[in-house]
Chain A
Amino acid sequence: MNSIYAAIDVGSNTLKLKIVQYSENGISVLDDISKGVKIGEDVFAKGNIEHETVKEIVEIMIRFKQVMDSYKVDMYRAFATGAMRTAENNLNVIEIVLMRSGIKIEIIEDTMEKFLTYKSMRDNIDDYRKIRESSILVELNSGSCDVSIYSGNKLVFNEEFTLGTLVLKNIMQDIEDMTINYPKVIAELIESRTCHMWRLIEKRRIRNFLMLGGETTILKNSLFCGLDTISRQDFENVHRRIFSDQLCFRKEIEEYGMDWYEFVACILVYQVFLKLVDTESMIFPAINLRDGMIAEMIEEDYCLARYKVFNNDVISLARNASARYKSCSRHCREVEKNGIKIMKELKKHFSFDERDELLLRLAAILHEIGKFTRAKNYLAASFHKIRNLSIMGTNYHEMMLVAHMCRMLTDMQLSRGSIERLSQSDRNRILKLSSILSIADALDKSKKQKIKIEKIIVTDEKLKIIASKSMDATLEEWNLGNRAKEFVKTFGLVPELIEAGYDE
């Protein structure tokens, strides 16, 4: 069993390393270090990471490796986000770092980053259940603003807006000459871009307001004395001063080392969402990517149920997306349930991992969303919708696989273009998962949940589905027969529906 874990976060401005020890008493932090390095400045100005910066990264990573060695770390992950993700020469940099320090950096997408960051709530916030019960999380970064809603212990909503502090700063500087009250204009702009979801937020009667993102730390430390929770009143006083005491306040803010425009943007965005929530306090939650990475590693090693509720957020978000596109939720759940049962049995003979199960479930939940656009050839429409969906906890590649699985539900052929773009292992994975999905879907073709799987048996040649029927299931039997051919091609097994009691 492993017990000492290290997580490295290669961010846009800072490289961070956290080392923890996991034991029966829980997690104890052994080391938590960071070093500033301006990767972002290079990338946003020139598109790639300059040689001098690469040298700095390498030096820091060598030091990180030494620190990791000094604790004899059992397992580590190094994830790059933000600037490294965008840098044109990111793969070269990763190679150099690996050669010089021995540390392998993986680039992760922002959906994965967010998922892991939120997951760290489990270990960092004592009353995380309270947060999951009813909260809005507004994460503000330079390029975007990400809003998530937890309700009833589920992550029910996650949406990204082009309302980053840097974006709003540019607009403010553009309009500054046109009006003396540019904060008011910006507030209007933020409102216009977010108003479509106000009702959704108000309806949920959110009880907690959480502020996240790059700007919050300096905001918290300089204006709110480093407090983790501040009163609504205190925040609103700050908001008010932007309008009533601009000159003095700007000087004050700049003395704290903050950019005035980015600060204004930050406060205005939070204020727009705060108006929708009836809470007396606001929270700066102590959550971060490294803790999420550590949670994943511990989970992997110890097969813990500790983070289950956070893993389920992926499914919860998919279900919400599915509901938004008016999919038939009972049918989708039935397909999901049947698919899991089939996979569970096949797992004894074929290799599937936890991620495969997640993808199968996502495909089951989302396969019908194309119907919202058109009835004819709706699976192709689903394909396009799914590949453009970003669901926290999954990456673009995985969503692409899910999209392909759904597209192949009736026609088990990959297009020529897809064959060229996908790797052999991806193609195999899609075939295997879509074959299962296809059988699971066939078993509820009428969308009436007539068939209840009692047992599944895999023999040398057959996949015997022993089930009870609540009404005539000719449609399902016929459809299963049609899809059997592709299943046989993939698994070498003939799927056969046997009525319970007749399986001897």
Chain B
Amino acid sequence: MNRYFNRELSWLKFNERVLEQATDSSMPILDRLKFVSIFSSNLDEFFMVRVASIKELMIAGYSVEDDSGYFPDEVFEKISENVSMLLKRQHEITRECVAELEDKGIRILRREDFKGDTAQELKEYFDSSVFPVLTPMAVDFGRPFPFVSNKTLNIVSKLSIDDNLKLAIVEVPDVLDRFIKLERAKETTYVLLEDVIVHFIEEIYMGQKVLANSVFRVTRDADLNIMEDDADDLLMVIEEAVKKRRWGDAIRLEIEEGADSWIESELEKIFKIGGNQLYRICGMLDLAGWFSFKPPKRIKGLKGKAYVPRTLPFMSGKNVFKTIREGDVFIHNPYDSFDFVVDFIKKASMDPSVLAIKQTLYRVSGDSEIINALEDAADRGKQVTALVELMARFDEENNINWAKKLEKKGVHVIYGIYGLKTHSKITLVVRRESKKIKRYVHLGTGNYNDVTAKLYTDMHYLTCREDIGTDATIFFNMVSGFSSKMTTQHLSVSPYTLREDFYKLIDREIKHVKEGNRGLMIAKMNSLVDKGIVDKLYEASNAGVEIKLIVRGICTLVPGVAGMSENITVKSIIGEFLEHSRIYYFYNNHHPKIYLSSADWMTRNLDRRIELLFPIADKKIAERIHLILELYLKDNSRSWKLMAGGEYKRIGKSGKRRICAHETLKNLIYENNDEFIKRLKGII
């Protein structure tokens, strides 16, 4: 047995778990389709980044076995096999969902059913709305194959011109709705835009013979390879690279099953892809399109009620700074409102006693109140420093815009340390209170993004403890290049001290066990990939430390193997909210220590990113977080157990009381940490 699972195949297993959410018949149909969509958009990103990098290795002739014992071409082949199976499963599930939609009175009509009145209505729609925005392009010697943008839907046609076969394509315009509602149909009926175009394709290539058509989609390499060494102006270089992303090498070609074989082989040649990069799709392409499906609101029961985060008494009315002075503040979103964090920054921007605000920004939402607050603070003459990470994957463009906007307003915008992505989430507010300087710090596991804060589970800690304030100052000085050493005392910072600190914490548990005491760790994260950490966990397991891991996504650690990892269990929770918080608990021989972090146990987090691990000094908050971990461990509703063979087994109720962590936390009634602890203890 291998010591490590393959990370790519482990990721596919994670996406499979996401897809399986869509089979939960207790869930409203649109929520189920949301998981179908998430599966697709996840897969797109996987191809654009991970599969693209494996392809690059293969092209470069890199043929070295990875830790899981696979060569790059073997992994590529395995991915192809697995994805094909998963796609099959996805379409089965989608068909079930579409059937359920029909039960609810919503029909999705495909092009083979366009007849009679329907065809007439669609003809009018095509002529008035679709045809004017289409740009068909033929392919011949004078006109090489037209450029096909990443992830766009296109229709390829086989034309016969003067007895010669020609290809022509037309892009499905994204300015129009993908799902078109038929106005004259008796039932609520939708058709797909690409079907409408295919149906009337002859009108586009008028006078030419259209022999065959197919919808297809290309996924391209979208990883940004930026040589920062040559970058005089990083902002400009990234801007250029983002523009070029649309033209990366083709990594995957999706085409409708049953497409003309000549078309298939021509596309394979044009996009320079092999057979294991071609995916024949039985059904609708780009199922992420379900995100945009908005049936009439009058049809009830299609969607679950949107959850409204709770506002706790301390969040309203009082001065945020006074609240934090009275005691550290803990927020667990989406259950607790993220507004308090936004408010903290907004109030800081307006408060005349605030002298400076420093903040890291990784991903922010569209019309971010936080960005507005920072601009406002700069307007009011405060010293505002924003550390914007330009290379936040797929948010580069967004972040470039913020960076420019903030700079214009006089915010001191910095782009972090060469070669390291700044992924940490920290804000420092410097305030002068009765002639003394007081520092307020926010530390989080998730982004300053009010939109994702309603969907992701993240934890936030606000404090004005002097030692944390000092460390926050040192941190900002370091990342802004005004200090050469990370000399923080309480905050662990990667890539400087974080890895070593994790090792020390695990070693301490080993030591406790060796001294005849209990050793226990509970760690929750998004992914566990780092070989060093995995080996350290094996060492701890062998020493007798109990290790309970809650890993949402990739996990390369092999649990439950005698002599290697018999004391390690791994579970994964996939549910209504995306598990995003990183929590690390160490039993420490009856003196538990709990830490939150922006970092997963991934090599990139520990070695190539600026990340933070921070201790929870407040005993009540620490107890609350520990109880949340216990709740996650007890969840038997949305949990999967990783087995030694690499498969994930759904944790069933097996006669036990059903416990759903998300539901429990949504419904718990509490006004403060004490009540939370008391009530949750009563449940678990």
Residues of A within 8 A of B (CB): 3-4, 21, 23, 28-36, 63, 66-67, 69-72
Q: Which residue from chain A places its CB closest to the CB of B382 in the assembled complex?
A: A70
Contact pattern, B 347-386, Cβ under 8 Å of A = 1, otherwise 0: 0000000011000000000000000000000000011000
Q: Is residue B473 contacting chain A, with contact meaning CB distance below 8 A?
A: yes
- Write out the residue numbers on chain B whose beta carbons fall within 8 Å of the beta carbon of A72: 355, 432
Chain B count of residues within 8 A CB distance of the other chain: 19
Known contacts A34-B484, A35-B482, A72-B355: does B383 contact A67 (CB below 8 Å)?
A: yes
Closest beta carbon of chain B to A322's beta carbon, Å: 43
- Write out the residue numbers on chain B whose beta carbons fall within 8 Å of the beta carbon of A70: 355-356, 382-383, 430
Closest beta carbon of chain A to B483's beta carbon, Å: 6
- Write out the residue numbers on chain A whose beta carbons fall within 8 Å of the beta carbon of B432: 71-72
In the docked arrangement, what's the CA distance between A66 and B480, Å?
14
Q: Is residue B436 contacting chain A, with contact meaning CB distance below 8 A?
A: yes
Interface contact A71-B356, CB-CB below 8 Å: yes
Q: Which residue from chain A places its CB closest to the CB of B412 in the assembled complex?
A: A66
Q: Is residue B477 contacting chain A, with contact meaning CB distance below 8 A?
A: yes
Q: Which residue from chain A places its CB closest to the CB of B384 in the assembled complex?
A: A70
Contact pattern, B 459-476, Cβ under 8 Å of A = 1, otherwise 0: 000000010001001100
- Write out the residue numbers on chain B whose beta carbons fall within 8 Å of the beta carbon of A33: 477, 482-483
Q: Which residue from chain B places its CB closest to the CB of A30 in the assembled complex?
A: B437
- Write out the residue numbers on chain B whose beta carbons fall within 8 Å of the beta carbon of A34: 482-484
- Write out the residue numbers on chain A whose beta carbons fall within 8 Å of the beta carbon of B69: none
Known contacts A67-B383, A72-B432: does B482 contact A28 (CB below 8 Å)?
A: no
Interface contact B473-A69, CB-CB below 8 Å: no
- Write out the residue numbers on chain A whose beta carbons fall within 8 Å of the beta carbon of B356: 70-71
Q: Is residue B481 contacting chain A, with contact meaning CB distance below 8 A?
A: yes
- Write out the residue numbers on chain B whose beta carbons fall within 8 Å of the beta carbon of A31: 473, 477
Closest beta carbon of chain B to A103's beta carbon, Å: 15
B413-460 contacts to A, CB under 8 A, are 430, 432, 435-437
Interface contact A29-B437, CB-CB below 8 Å: no
Which of A35, A69, A70 has the most B CB atoms < 10 Å from its CB? A70
In the docked arrangement, what's the CA distance between A67 and B428, Å?
13
- Write out the residue numbers on chain A whose beta carbons fall within 8 Å of the beta carbon of B436: 3, 21, 23
Closest beta carbon of chain B to A422's beta carbon, Å: 42
Interface contact B383-A30, CB-CB below 8 Å: no
In the docked arrangement, what's the CA distance between A30 and B383, Å?
15
In the docked arrangement, what's the CA distance between A35 and B473, Å?
15
- Write out the residue numbers on chain A whose beta carbons fall within 8 Å of the beta carbon of B430: 30, 70-71
Interface contact A69-B482, CB-CB below 8 Å: no
- Write out the residue numbers on chain B whose beta carbons fall within 8 Å of the beta carbon of A3: 435-436
Closest beta carbon of chain A to B504's beta carbon, Å: 15
User: Can you offer 26 A-B residue contacts whose CB atoms are under 8 A?
Assistant: A3-B435, A3-B436, A21-B437, A23-B436, A28-B466, A28-B470, A30-B430, A32-B474, A32-B477, A32-B483, A33-B482, A34-B482, A34-B483, A34-B484, A35-B481, A36-B484, A63-B412, A63-B482, A67-B383, A69-B355, A70-B356, A70-B430, A71-B355, A71-B432, A72-B355, A72-B432
Q: Which residue from chain B places its CB closest to the CB of A33 in the assembled complex?
A: B482
Q: Which residue of B383, B474, B481, B483 contacts A69 across the interface (Cβ within 8 Å)?
A: B383
In the docked arrangement, what's the CA distance between A69 and B383, Å?
8
Q: Which residue from chain A places its CB closest to the CB of B474 in the assembled complex?
A: A32
- Write out the residue numbers on chain A whose beta carbons fall within 8 Å of the beta carbon of B437: 4, 21, 30, 71
- Write out the residue numbers on chain A whose beta carbons fall within 8 Å of the beta carbon of B355: 69-72
Closest beta carbon of chain A to B369's beta carbon, Å: 23
In the docked arrangement, what's the CA distance between A33 and B484, Å?
9
Contact pattern, B 481-496, Cβ under 8 Å of A = 1, otherwise 0: 1111000000000000
- Write out the residue numbers on chain B whose beta carbons fall within 8 Å of the beta carbon of A32: 474, 477, 483
- Write out the residue numbers on chain B whose beta carbons fall within 8 Å of the beta carbon of A35: 481-482
Closest beta carbon of chain B to A387's beta carbon, Å: 40
In the docked arrangement, what's the CA distance between A101 and B412, Å?
16
In the docked arrangement, what's the CA distance between A21 and B383, Å?
18
- Write out the residue numbers on chain A whose beta carbons fall within 8 Å of the beta carbon of B473: 30-31
In the docked arrangement, what's the CA distance between A225 and B447, Å?
36
Contact pattern, B 641-682, Cβ under 8 Å of A = 1, otherwise 0: 000000000000000000000000000000000000000000
Which of B430, B466, B482 has the most A CB atoms < 10 Å from its CB? B482
In the docked arrangement, what's the CA distance between A30 and B477, Å?
11
In the docked arrangement, what's the CA distance between A63 and B473, Å?
15
Closest beta carbon of chain A to B568's beta carbon, Å: 32
In the docked arrangement, what's the CA distance between A426 and B382, Å?
44
- Write out the residue numbers on chain A whose beta carbons fall within 8 Å of the beta carbon of B481: 35
Which of A28, A31, A36 has the most B CB atoms < 10 Å from its CB? A31
> Knowing that A21-B437, A33-B483 are A-B contacts, what are 19 other residue pairs whose CB atoms are under 8 Å apart, sorted by A's residue number?
A4-B437, A23-B436, A28-B466, A30-B430, A30-B473, A31-B473, A32-B474, A32-B477, A32-B483, A33-B482, A34-B483, A34-B484, A35-B481, A63-B412, A66-B412, A69-B383, A70-B356, A70-B383, A71-B355
- Write out the residue numbers on chain B whose beta carbons fall within 8 Å of the beta carbon of A28: 466, 470
- Write out the residue numbers on chain B whose beta carbons fall within 8 Å of the beta carbon of A66: 383, 412
Closest beta carbon of chain B to A373's beta carbon, Å: 50
- Write out the residue numbers on chain B whose beta carbons fall within 8 Å of the beta carbon of A4: 437
In the docked arrangement, what's the CA distance between A34 and B484, Å?
8
- Write out the residue numbers on chain A whose beta carbons fall within 8 Å of the beta carbon of B483: 32-34
Closest beta carbon of chain A to B74's beta carbon, Å: 38
In the docked arrangement, what's the CA distance between A69 and B437, Å?
12
Closest beta carbon of chain B to A268's beta carbon, Å: 27
Q: Which residue from chain A places its CB closest to the CB of B485 in the assembled complex?
A: A221
- Write out the residue numbers on chain B whose beta carbons fall within 8 Å of the beta carbon of A67: 383
- Write out the residue numbers on chain A whose beta carbons fall within 8 Å of the beta carbon of B474: 32
Q: Which residue from chain B places its CB closest to the CB of A60 in the assembled complex?
A: B482
Closest beta carbon of chain B to A102's beta carbon, Å: 15
In the docked arrangement, what's the CA distance between A400 and B412, Å?
47
Closest beta carbon of chain A to B661's beta carbon, Å: 42
Interface contact B470-A29, CB-CB below 8 Å: yes
In the docked arrangement, what's the CA distance between A103 and B334, Å?
48
The 8 closest A-B pairs by CB, nearest first: A70-B383, A70-B356, A33-B482, A33-B477, A70-B355, A21-B437, A30-B437, A31-B473
In the docked arrangement, what's the CA distance between A32 and B473, Å?
8
- Write out the residue numbers on chain A whose beta carbons fall within 8 Å of the beta carbon of B435: 3
- Write out the residue numbers on chain A whose beta carbons fall within 8 Å of the beta carbon of B482: 33-35, 63
In the docked arrangement, what's the CA distance between A137 and B437, Å?
36
Q: Which residue from chain B places its CB closest to the CB of A4 in the assembled complex?
A: B437
Contact pattern, B 540-560, Cβ under 8 Å of A = 1, otherwise 0: 000000000000000000000
B624-640 contacts to A, CB under 8 A, are none
Q: Which residue from chain B places its CB closest to the CB of A221 in the assembled complex?
A: B485
Closest beta carbon of chain B to A26's beta carbon, Å: 12
Closest beta carbon of chain A to B411's beta carbon, Å: 11
In the docked arrangement, what's the CA distance between A52 and B482, Å?
19
Closest beta carbon of chain B to A55's beta carbon, Å: 16
Closest beta carbon of chain B to A28's beta carbon, Å: 7
In the docked arrangement, what's the CA distance between A70 and B435, Å?
13
- Write out the residue numbers on chain A whose beta carbons fall within 8 Å of the beta carbon of B383: 66-67, 69-70
Closest beta carbon of chain A to B352's beta carbon, Å: 12
Closest beta carbon of chain A to B48's beta carbon, Å: 38
In the docked arrangement, what's the CA distance between A66 and B412, Å?
10
Q: Which residue from chain B places its CB closest to the CB of A68 in the assembled complex?
A: B383
In the docked arrangement, what's the CA distance between A21 and B435, Å?
10
Closest beta carbon of chain B to A199's beta carbon, Å: 41
Closest beta carbon of chain B to A504's beta carbon, Å: 53
In the docked arrangement, what's the CA distance between A70 and B353, Å?
11
Contact pattern, B 514-546, Cβ under 8 Å of A = 1, otherwise 0: 000000000000000000000000000000000
In the docked arrangement, what's the CA distance between A33 and B358, Å?
15
- Write out the residue numbers on chain B whose beta carbons fall within 8 Å of the beta carbon of A36: 484
In the docked arrangement, what's the CA distance between A405 and B382, Å?
52
In the docked arrangement, what's the CA distance between A1 and B611, Å?
40
Closest beta carbon of chain B to A78's beta carbon, Å: 16
Q: Which residue from chain B places its CB closest to the CB of A23 in the assembled complex?
A: B436
Closest beta carbon of chain B to A435's beta carbon, Å: 44
In the docked arrangement, what's the CA distance between A450 and B484, Å?
62
In the docked arrangement, what's the CA distance between A484 and B597, Å?
79
Closest beta carbon of chain A to B383's beta carbon, Å: 3
- Write out the residue numbers on chain A whose beta carbons fall within 8 Å of the beta carbon of B382: 70
